[in-house]
Amino acid sequence: MPTSTQPLVLVYGPYNADGLAELGRRFDVRHLASRDPGELSEAERGEVRAVAVAGHLPNAVMDALPALEIVGHFGVGYDGVDARHAAERGIAVTNTPDVLTEEVADTAVALVLMTVRELHHAEAHARSGEWERKGAYPLTRFSLRGKTVGIMGLGRIGLAIARRLESFGVAIRYHNRSERTDVAYPYDPSLEALAQSSDILLNVAPGGASTDKAIDAGVLRALGPDGILINVGRGSTVDEPALIDALEQGTIAAAGLDVFADEPRIPERLRNLRNTVLLPHVASASRDTRILMGNLVADNLSRWFAGEALETPVPESQDAGLTSRA
Ligand code: DGY
Percent of the chain at pLDDT > 90 equals 98
Task: Measure the CA–CA gap between 314 and 94, rounded to whole angstroms.
Answer: 5
Task: State the Cα–Cα distance between residues 121 and 309, nearest whole angstrom.
Answer: 49
pTM, two decimals, is 0.96
Residues 6+ apart with CB under 8 A from 87: 93, 316, 317, 319, 320, 322
Average pLDDT over residues 257-268: 98
Pocket perturbation via mutation, ligand 1, pick of 53, 284, 286, 289 by most ligand atoms within 8 A of CB: 284
Please, what is the angle between helix 17-26 and helix 287-305, to 10°? Answer: 30
Phi and psi dihedrals of 151, rounded to 5? -100, 125
Ligand 1 nearest atom to the CA of residue 100, by list position? 2
Ligand 1 atom closest to 96 (CA): 2
| CATH number of 8-98+287-319, picked from 3.40.50.720, 3.20.20.10, 3.40.50.300, 3.40.309.10 | 3.40.50.720
* Ligand 1 mean position, distance from CA 95 (Å): 10
Structural domain boundaries in the chain: 8-98+287-319, 101-278
Determine which helix (DSSP H) or strand (DSSP E) holds 50, and give its type and residue range.
strand 48-53
**What is the per-residue pLDDT for 5?**
82
Q: How far apart are CA 197 and CA 219, in angstroms?
A: 11
Distance 43 CA to ligand 1 centre (A): 33
Confidence of residue 172 (pLDDT cuts 50, 70, 90): very high
Contact between 108 and 204 (Cβ < 8 Å): yes
Ligand 1 pocket residue status of 100, Cβ below 6 Å: yes
State if residue 77 touches ligand 1 by the CB under 6 angstroms criterion. Answer: yes
Closest-CA residue, ligand 1 atom 1, reads 75
DSSP letter assigned to residue 187: B
Report the percent of the chain where pLDDT is more than 70: 99
What are the DSSP calls for 79-93, one per residue?
TTB-HHHHHHTT-EE
pLDDT at 8 over 70: yes
Task: Taking residues 283-312, report their average pLDDT.
Answer: 98
- Taking each helix axis from N to C end, the angle separating 119-127 and 101-117, rounded to the nearest 10 degrees, works out to 70
User: Relative to the CA of 75, which ligand 1 atom is closest?
Assistant: 2
pLDDT of the residue at 133:
98
Minimum CA distance residue for ligand 1 atom 7: 284
70-81 pLDDT, tens per residue?
Answer: 999 999 999 999
pLDDT at residue 326, rounded to an integer = 82
CA distance 260 to 241: 11
Task: Point out the least confidently predicted range of 1-10, 115-124, 148-157, 281-290.
Answer: 1-10
Which residues are catalytically annotated? 234, 263, 281
How is residue 199 annotated by DSSP? S
Query: What distance in angstroms lies between residue 2's CA and the mean position of ligand 1's atoms?
Result: 32
Do residues 83 and 314 touch, judged by C-beta distance below 8 A? yes
Q: Which comes out higher in pLDDT, residue 320 or 37?
A: 320
CB of 81 within 6 A of ligand 1: the answer is no
pLDDT of residue 175 exceeding 90, the answer is yes
pLDDT bracket for residue 212 (50, 70, 90): very high
From CA 20, how far away is CA 183, in angstroms rounded? 39
Q: What is the mean pLDDT of residues 301-310?
A: 98
pLDDT digits (tens, 9 = 90+) for 39-67: 999 999 999 999 999 999 999 999 999 99
pLDDT value of position 1: 47
Cα(64)–Cα(37) distance, integer angstroms: 8
Average per-residue pLDDT for the chain: 97
Q: To test the ligand 1 pocket, which listed residue (104, 287, 289) has its Cβ within 8 A of the most ligand atoms?
A: 104
The verdict on the CB of residue 230 being under 6 Å from ligand 1 is no
Superfamily of domain 101-278: NAD(P)-binding Rossmann-like Domain (3.40.50.720)
Q: What is the pLDDT of residue 4?
A: 67
Residue 3 has pLDDT above 80, yes or no: no
Region 86-91 average pLDDT: 98
**77 CA → ligand 1 middle, Å:** 6
The Cα–Cα gap between 78 and 206 comes to 8
